[in-house]
Each structure stands twice: as structure tokens, then as C-alpha cells.
A and B are shown apart, each in its own frame.
Chain A
Amino acid sequence: MSESATRITPGNALRPEDIADRVHDGTAKPSDEVAEYALWLGDDALILAQRLGHWISRAPELEEDVALGNIALDQLGHARSFLSYAGGAWGKSEDDLAYFRDEPQFRSAHLVEQPNGDFAVTIARQFVLSHYQFELYRRLLDSADPMLAAIAAKAVKEVDYHRDHSSQWMLRLALGTDESRRRVEAAVKLIWPYLAELFEDHPLVDALPGIAVRPSELRPAFDAVTGAVLAEAQLEIPSVPSASGGGRNGRHSEHLGYLLAEMQVLARQHPGASW
């Protein structure tokens, strides 16, 4: 086998460790508001990564184990970057924030907290979130906060792939067999109530002009792009009432407690330990 086809290089990109270093040496220090905003983004990515991590070894085909693993790793990387940065405001590490906050201190949206369900539910959830994240990160590139912009620059390319992956699967599930169509229709109905929360404006964003992205501004682009995929998939946007949300204020779904219990159990058995 040619060496060239198996050349392995790490590449160079902004890593969570680099951000932690810069926070540590004081060259990057977010305000409390910026840190709070970074928690929004970081917690969405973290909770989704935790959900997707469960798929590895359970996917419909081995190739999909690898694909979902890549998406989970991307999201986990984004989470670590945002949390490392956020922690700079309070002298906390990414792990302090991930493992030693309780539910009300999390800022994730209800969408990412939704259980994996079957593959259709996971794909519908991914479809919504990655299109939302893409529109968000694309605009965050222009943020007046250089660290948020830098994290977004790495994340936007990866999320672009996630939205492609989930769009491809939306088409296949919707236009595949009767069963897959029935399942994806049910999944869309299940997921759509949690969409509105993503685009709700919030006083925090008002406090961060030029830094944070106004959620409601993302909606038209999101609707246009997802609408085109749904039209091709011949899927109707379901008329379901929106769930009330509240994740940005620490009011979460029933699911988050179980998820955190599993994620945090070992770290909390050994507070202060190094791993």
C-alpha cells in the first residue's frame, strides 16, 4: 500500500486545549455575559454529543457507526471549546462545568435533550440542530468577540457536513420504504415542537450587541434551507404546538436529569480527582 494513501497527520486547528491555555494565561477572558452565551452554545453541543455517543456500536450499519461517531466527536470538540472559554469567567475548567453543574445551571435547549428514539428521531433532531447551528456559526464568524469567532470558524465547516449528512438521510428515509416514511413522519412530529425555542430572543442577546447572534434572525434562512430539503423529501411541516422551552434559563425537560446522572456519576464519585 502506498504511503501516501495512509499518511496520517493531525492537521492544525484551534483545539480546546489551546483555548484552555489562553484562558489560563489570561490572554482570553470572557465577561460574565459572554461566558453565559458560550454556555448556551457549549451545552447544546455537549448534550447532543452525549446523546450521539450512545449510538456508537448500535448504528444501523457499521459505516453509520463511524459517521455518527464523527459527528459526536465534532460536537464534543465544539462543546469543549465553548466550555473552556466560558470557564475563564469563573476560574472553572471544561470539566468543572460539564461534571459539577446541576440541571438548573445548564443552558441547553430542550431539542438536544430529546432521547435518541429510533434512527429517524436521531436524524430529525440532527437535521434541525445542525441547520440551526450552521446559520448561527456562520454569523458568529463576524462576532466582535475574537474567541467566539475563532471557535465558530472551526465549527461551521464541521456542522456544514452534519447538515448534509442529516439532509441525505431525511431524503432516504422519507422516500425509501413505507415503513421508513411512516417513521420519519412520526419523528418530525416528535421533534418539531422543540424548534421554536432555538429561535427565541433573550435579554442576554440584547446585552451582547455585535457579539452574540440574535436567534430570531436565523429563522428565515433556516426555514428556506430546511424547507427545500423537506419539499424534496415530500415531507410536510407538521402543525404541532411549540413546546414552551426555557432551557436558556435553566428550565429543562425531564430527560436531562437522567442524562446528567449518567454523564456525571463517575466524576462525582471522585471529586477533585485527575483522570
Chain B
Amino acid sequence: MDDTAGQANFDALMAADSRVEPRDWMPEAYRRTLVRQISQHAHSEIIGMQPEANWITRAPSLRRKAILMAKVQDEAGHGLYLYSAAETLGTPRDEMMEALIAGKARYSSIFNYPAVSWADMGAIGWLVDGAAICNQVPLCRASYGPYARAMVRICKEESFHQRQGFEILLELSRGSAVQKQMAQDAVNRWYAPSLMMFGPPDDDSPNSLQSMAWNIKRFSNDELRSRFVGMMVEQVEVLGLTLPDDQIRFNEETKKWEHGPLDWNEFKDVLAGHGPCNAQRLERRRSAHDDGAWVREAAAAYAAKQQAAVAA
């Protein structure tokens, strides 16, 4: 199919809100945008395993240890689903992984903050996964089929992630004064970074409009952020905790939730690599990758020998 016919076909799919599949003609910019977005999403799952994996060995009850292990394992699975979706666009997983460990790829900046207490397992589940789910549910209808299908599976599996985080905070909040303080402190630290997970404000988000035109993104950053704040305001009361933002209010005119100012300079700083844990997170991924090289090579060599033996 030549580009003109391809573009016409692609435009028709967009107009009908239909799905694009891997072998369809698609504009190069659409392909590039998807590879960037899906691989960033995958990297976020993989790097995001680290702050929680750090607590697996210290989880304060065996039940919590099992839940946390299952959750971090899910994140590896979700990374895999997403890398697979990105691979259908012609970029091999190895290449994406190389870019990540070379520091050339981005991932959600929130994972560059440290998880310093057990309550952070609660706050990450409740706020970080909560924000992620808000972002991801509309992506189940993204125009690129493999991405949307991966998101359907991920959203189904993640439904327990936010709940277990909420429960951790609830237990702490109902526990001793020290435990409750631990929970409040974690919420205080993760609140603003979780709001920033929705991306820059709409008037400073150059790629958003194109992504919306391509039916990849369904709602603007600010819309999703406002919706998220509304949900958290209700839930924090059940937790018996507070959000560290005294400017949250429901705007009766716009029918939207509003929040206090966010420090976007910090966001950009962390994204640029100046967060508290950027170097540590990348180094951990790099060493896992490097330390595993001989294992991957061994399995590949074994497979090649088996094949040669069958062929002989």
C-alpha cells in the first residue's frame, strides 16, 4: 500500500475510532510515539519493581510478604506485556532494554523517590498505583490494538494493587500512634509526586494534542489529575489521614476538583536525572542485566546445540 492510500486508510480508522493492528500502514510519527510511550510505560513497570522489592525481605507479616511478592511479580509481568506490545511495532526488547540501562530512555519519575518505610508500600499502592490506574483505564481503548489489549490485562490484574496499598495504610492508621504517623508521613511524601504522574499541565504538554487526535490519549493530563484528586479526597477520610494540600476544593462552576500548586521544576529535575534515586535505580537494572548475561547466553547456546543435534 503506498503512503497516500495508507494514510487514507489510517485516517478512516481514526475517524471510525477503530483499532490499528501491527501490520497496518501507519504514519512514522504515530509509530515513534507509540514505541516511546509503550516502552516508557514498560520501563516504569520494571524500574518500579525496585522500591517495593526492597521491602519483600522485610515485610512485617508473612501475609504481607506474600502479597508484596505477588505484586512485584505482577509488575515484571506487566513490563513483559508492554514490551511485547512495543515489539509488534518493530523494536526488539533487547534494544529497548539497552536504551534503558544506557540512561537514554525515560520512565515514570516517581520511581526515583526512595521508599524509606513500610508505610511507603501502602502509599505507593494507594497513590502511585491509584494514579497509574486512572491513567491506564482510558488506555484500554487506545487506538493501537496490542497496546490496548495489554492494558486490559494489566488493569484486570492491577485491581488488587491499589486495594492492598489502601489496606496497608488503613491498618497503620488504626494501629499505634507511631504506625499512624508512619502512614501520614508516607502520604505526605507521595502525594505531590503522584499528582505529577499525570504529566505537565495541559498548557505545557506539547505532545498531548497529537496523542488525543490519534486516539491514544482519551483525556487530558489535567482532567485525569482532577478526577484523581476527587477520588483521593473521599478515600483519605476513610483512612483517617489527611492529604498535605489545604487548597483542594471542588469548583462548582467547572465541576472539577482543584488542588494546590505543584513544583514542576522539581518534576523536571527528577526527570532529568537529579532525583534522589535515579543513579541507584539504573545501576540496579544494569547490574541485573549484566549479571544475567552469561545465563541468557547459556540458554541460547543450549537451544542452538539441541537444534543442531535434531538437524544432524
Contacts and interface: CB of A to CB of B under 8 A. Distances in A.
Asked if chains A and B come from one complex, the reply is: yes
> Helix, strand, loop or mixed for chain B's interface?
helix
A4 interface: no
Interface of B: 46, 49-50, 53, 56-66, 69-70, 72-73, 76-77, 79-80, 83, 118, 149, 152-153, 156-157, 168, 171-172, 174-176, 178-179, 284, 287-288, 291-302, 305
Nearest to B59: A266
A269 to B, nearest CB: 9
A69 interface: yes
Interface stretch (A58-66, A148-156, A209-217, A219-227): A58-66
Given A175-B305, A266-B118, A273 B73 contact: no
B64 A275 contact: yes
B292 A59 contact: yes
A61 B296 contact: yes
A230 interface: no
Q: Lowest 7 A-B CB distances belong to which pairs?
A: A60-B292, A176-B298, A180-B298, A69-B73, A60-B295, A57-B53, A65-B76
Nearest to B140: A1
Interface of A: 1, 6, 8, 16-17, 46, 49-50, 53-54, 56-66, 69-70, 72-73, 76-77, 79-80, 83, 94-95, 98-99, 118-119, 171-173, 175-177, 179-180, 183, 262-263, 265-267, 270, 273-275
Most buried by B among A50, A76, A118, A183: A76
Nearest to B298: A176
A134 B178 CA distance: 44
B179 A273 contact: yes
A8 B80 contact: no
Contacts of A273: 60, 175-176, 179
A98 to B, nearest CB: 6
Contacts of B73: 56, 65-66, 69-70, 73
